[in-house]
Amino acid sequence: MTIELHKKTTLKEIAALAGVSLATVDRVLSQRARVSPHTRERVLTAIKELNEANGSPVAEPPPADLKSFHFGFVMESGAPFLNAIEKTVDTVRERFASRHISLDTKAMSRFDMDAFLALLRQSAREHDGLVLLCREDPAISACVNQIVREGTPVVCMTTDLCDTERLAYVGMNHVSAGRTAGHLMGRYLGNREGEVILVVSAPYRAQYERELGFRRVIREQFPNLRIRESLNNHDMDEESYENLMALFNAGIKPLGIYNVTGGTQGVARAIKEKGWTRDVVFIGHELNDSSYSLLSQNEVDVIIDQDLRAEVIDSVNQLLAYHGAGQDAPKPTPSAPIIMIRENL
């Protein structure tokens, strides 16, 4: 059964009255793609009002089928972290497929703003909800807000976009992770005086919050330590290596290094080439195949990890709750950081 329109009722009028895009109106009329119940109701109400104004009642559409959903993970980050998330999605895909829920991943390891915005818009047209992992930028936030207003819910996973209308943030408490790194760094180094290097990357909120927590603890609890910044490594091993080697060859020998981002292998390589593996305390993030190997060989002292499987599952459940297809999702509470050392691998 189709939704009948009076011949004088136009899609442009419907979109304007409902406050949605022409594409969203088309999705409701064709019933080819999922639209949230709230947005669908707004469009139908607008059609009814316009039809009645033009002298023709609206035919009631059949109830929307909410039993099958298509969700997309749209991500941009360093390649190792993206691979870890894609593998994690693979581990839960069958679990959700049995409930007629399909999961896609769309990843970008070399960031390009125009391409990423296009990917976001295309993904919103093709999915019933998005799980988003990306850096902070006003253009991205504006795009996310537009997508949400047009009826596609968005959950931010691992790193947040606080200035958007996203449905929820699912992930670790990154300020706590940074404070944890600062505490461990100070305790490992004891009363030694000197510099610790902070390796930073692109403007992801998660990394900004880690840096904030780390700086605060060092400043408040370990005045014997001074922080020196490394240059942006763009989550790349080669850039981590080159930036640190430039500092080392200039005569800088730190007491410790805290890498808030990717590129862990490059940091370890630089330390090892200088023969400082036993001298420099190295704390990083993300337990993956390469960092697992480094940790087991004592080339990294601490890896601060997060439960990606739980984050993926919680993100999907948030979208399902939005669509009324599951239990009411609790307000997500940021999880505690997981401390990994060689002895608890």
- Identify the CATH number of the domain in which residue 189 sits: 3.40.50.2300
The answer on 280 and 179 residing in a single domain is yes
The answer on 264 and 151 residing in a single domain is no
Q: Is residue 78 included in any domain, yes or no? A: yes
* Residue-range definition of the domain harbouring residue 181: 174-305
Question: Cα separation of 339 and 98, whole Å?
Answer: 34
The answer on 209 and 273 residing in a single domain is yes
Q: Is residue 77 included in any domain, yes or no? A: yes
The tokens 């669908």 sit on which residue?
40
Q: Is residue 342 included in any domain, yes or no? A: no
Q: Among 44, 65, 86, where does a domain finish?
A: 65
The answer on 198 and 299 residing in a single domain is yes
Domain count, the chain: 3
The answer on 284 and 206 residing in a single domain is yes
Q: Is residue 244 included in any domain, yes or no? A: yes
Q: Among 13, 31, 65, where does a domain finish?
A: 65
Question: Cα separation of 199 and 312, whole Å?
Answer: 27
Cα angle 136, 140, 145 (rounded to 5 degrees) comes to: 115
Q: Are 340 and 305 in contact (CB under 8 A)?
A: yes
- Identify the CATH number of the domain in which residue 60 sits: 1.10.260.40
Please state whether 273 falls in left (phi above 0), alpha (psi between -120 and 50) or beta: alpha
260 class by beta-carbon count within 10 Å (0-12 exposed, 13-18 middle, 19+ buried): buried
Q: Is residue 40 included in any domain, yes or no? A: yes
The tokens 């807000």 sit on which residue?
145
Q: Is residue 345 included in any domain, yes or no? A: no
The answer on 179 and 279 residing in a single domain is yes
Q: pLDDT tens per residue, the chain (345 residues)?
A: 346 676 678 888 888 888 887 778 877 776 655 677 778 888 888 888 888 777 765 444 444 444 689 999 999 998 889 999 999 999 999 888 888 899 999 999 889 999 999 999 999 999 999 999 999 999 999 999 999 999 999 999 999 999 999 999 999 999 999 999 999 999 999 999 999 999 988 789 999 999 999 999 999 999 999 999 876 667 788 989 999 999 999 999 999 999 999 889 999 999 999 999 999 999 999 998 899 999 999 999 999 999 999 999 999 999 999 988 876 666 788 999 999 999 999
Q: Is residue 339 included in any domain, yes or no? A: no
DSSP H/E element including 5: none
Q: Is residue 59 included in any domain, yes or no? A: yes
The answer on 81 and 153 residing in a single domain is yes
Q: Coil, strand or helix: which one is 131?
A: strand
The answer on 133 and 276 residing in a single domain is no
The answer on 237 and 89 residing in a single domain is no
